[in-house]
A and B are shown apart, each in its own frame.
Chain A
């Protein structure tokens, strides 16, 4: 019996804006439909968004160090992915974040005050605005991937012309949730885009110990849909590839998996110390690839972006962030009884009793304190 090759696969890699801020516009046209272009205004908007979310992040880290915020997961270095995704998504699409997407959430319209509240451990920080199509932050790694698949299935069933985007880290791709979720999406040809923010680390575990495959993108091939690798620090590539994938999903052509190569420039969270497990040289190497720096270089070269533009932008952003922090910090502590009130629509009798008992205890203590 002769030997035959049954299938051969390729994994594509996309980068349009290189580390020096040079844009390869010959790559633009295949990613855009004939009627489309990418405008100066859009690109400048990307940069403004990046400055906003990086400043939000820096402020969060500062607040945490001063004891004014809880444990926080920094997005520093991963802004291009978040800005690109936010620009590609429509408000009617659904977004399923992991826990390192604060920037994307802000750009989707979640108030910064709410996010600071969330990262301070205040349960009221989990309340999203009405008609906000984002799922809550998934702290358990990868558990939201099958949820996104379910939402995509529901959209297909209801004939909603929307797409679902689920983002997660490289660590999440070791979870059964990832493999079962992707397989399910492939089998039912669901309108979902899976996006891995491959930031090279899952806490202290490098991606080389997460998978023996040379790319994460290629995992999609086994599930029967395209897997693409993108320079995750290139906002233009991320935007265009995600946009295409979302459109494909909305057209009913099935899922796409996008691996975005990036780097977690800070510690895993404020509770971590990354210097215990990775070298300074590695961090420096990736600082050179910083998504914001390269976009700024592009703007400077192409659109005369100047220091005064930069300063004006930073000032405006700082003012927005100060307001958000003020709003967040002016909220008083929550009522302890509240912990009983979000569990069920109506509290069963036994829990009503537990609630009443706590209420009695608090009142008694307050009385005692008054005497």
Chain B
């Protein structure tokens, strides 16, 4: 099979979706000269025309509202917010409108909209350019939230998001763009709400998502060398949450660490921990531990960033803490 990068896989999914369905169009900022999109949208305007790849004015709210209107009118838009932070300028159309529409109108009309947004952290970008807001969005009843961590999932989940008849938030992470995996050439969908066991192990479960799934795999490899057998689950969707896959794993290992690139308080990891303790309290040999961002905005300087973003080594330390292994450093 071919190997593609995460960025190439996103690109291919767009191209195939545009190719197979004339109702599909992409709208957002910088689409004709993608600045924040890396290569994920490169030259799509040339391949599919500027009337299907719409580079918008700096109007997040209008762009989002318009995409919703077009979706209700029978189109299948992919709305692109190159910075998740600035998607907040369109929170009303997303939360009040798109998320509620089906419910408000007794399922007569839904909003078949893919809202793609990018987490763009690190590199001195700071508090207003690096936010991971998936937990906030997953909190909203009418939204689904997917967060691929591999090239294979990046393609399959974008296609699944398009095939869903309700609004789906698709979040990709710039830190993953150069990672590679095997990616089939056909237009395949990965079920939304299904996690995957990335690595089997007996001693402890790490439930993770997005770039923290990558970091969890690195931690797993390092811990293996130290004689610790880690099971790594990549949840792939924040919502719906694949709780069964975690319960099954925890039944075996009895220990759980949740690794998430969002803030700790009221976050995704908190939801996972609560759901597991509600259902599998008696399988647990110890408390569920979390590896998340500290509950402060992202810093800009390198010295601070290094301490802000959790990495594989932080997961490792937390695993050892859960197993009561006293580490030297």
Contacts and interface: CB of A to CB of B under 8 A. Distances in A.
Contact of B35 (A120, A203, A210): A203
Contacts of B57: 171, 174, 202, 205, 209-211
Interface in B41-95: 55, 57-62, 85-86, 89
B307 A358 contact: yes
B308 A339 contact: yes
Contacts of B297: 343
B307 A121 contact: no
A123 interface: yes
Residue among B59, B62, B128, B295 having the largest count of chain A Cβ atoms under 10 Å: B59
Size bracket of the B interface:
35 or more
B84 to A, nearest CB: 12
Contacts of B307: 336, 339, 358, 362
Contacts of B126: 121, 139
Contact of B299 (A142, A276, A339): A339
A42 B33 CA distance: 43
A358 B124 contact: no
B103 to A, nearest CB: 26
Contacts of A354: 264, 294-296
A172 interface: yes
B124 A333 contact: no
A333 B35 contact: no
B31 to A, nearest CB: 9
A238 B201 CA distance: 69
B61 A343 contact: no
A266 interface: no
A204 B35 contact: yes
A2 interface: no
A118 to B, nearest CB: 9
Interface in A141-187: 141-142, 171-172, 174-176
Contact of B265 (A268, A272, A350, A358): A350
Contacts of A140: 85-86, 128
B30 interface: yes
Contact of A175 (B32, B59, B328): B59
Q: Which one of A71, A140, A211, A276 has the greatest number of beta carbons of chain B within 10 Å? A: A140
B58 A123 contact: no
Interface string B279-318: 0000000000000001111011111101110000000000
Interface string A352-371: 00100010001011001000
Contacts of B86: 140-141
A277 interface: yes
B107 interface: no
Contacts of B199: none
Nearest to B124: A121
Interface string B25-44: 00001101101000000000
B320 interface: no
B139 interface: no
B129 interface: yes
Contact of A123 (B35, B60, B304): B304
Contacts of B264: 354
B59 A176 contact: yes
A277 to B, nearest CB: 5
A226 interface: no
Contacts of A209: 55, 57
B325 interface: no
Given A203-B30, A209-B55, A276-B33, A123 B296 contact: no
A51 to B, nearest CB: 29
B1 interface: no
Interface in B93-116: none
Contacts of B58: 141-142, 171-172, 174-175, 202, 205, 210
A180 B90 CA distance: 15
Contact of A122 (B59, B301, B306, B308): B301
Given A176-B89, A334-B301, A336-B307, A364 B30 contact: no
Contact of A333 (B265, B300, B303, B328): B303
B299 to A, nearest CB: 5
A336 B329 contact: no
Contacts of B265: 350
A176 B60 CA distance: 9
A58 B268 CA distance: 45
Contacts of B89: 175-176
Contacts of B294: 339-340, 351, 354, 358
A308 interface: no
B61 A277 contact: no
Given A202-B58, A339-B296, A364 B329 contact: yes
Given A139-B128, A171-B58, A339-B307, 16 more contacts: A70-B124, A121-B301, A121-B302, A142-B58, A174-B58, A175-B89, A176-B59, A176-B61, A176-B89, A204-B32, A204-B33, A210-B58, A336-B303, A338-B304, A351-B296, A368-B329
5 contacts: A121-B301, A277-B33, A336-B306, A339-B296, A368-B328
> Sorted from nearest, which 3 A-B pairs have the closest CB atoms?
A121-B124, A204-B33, A174-B57
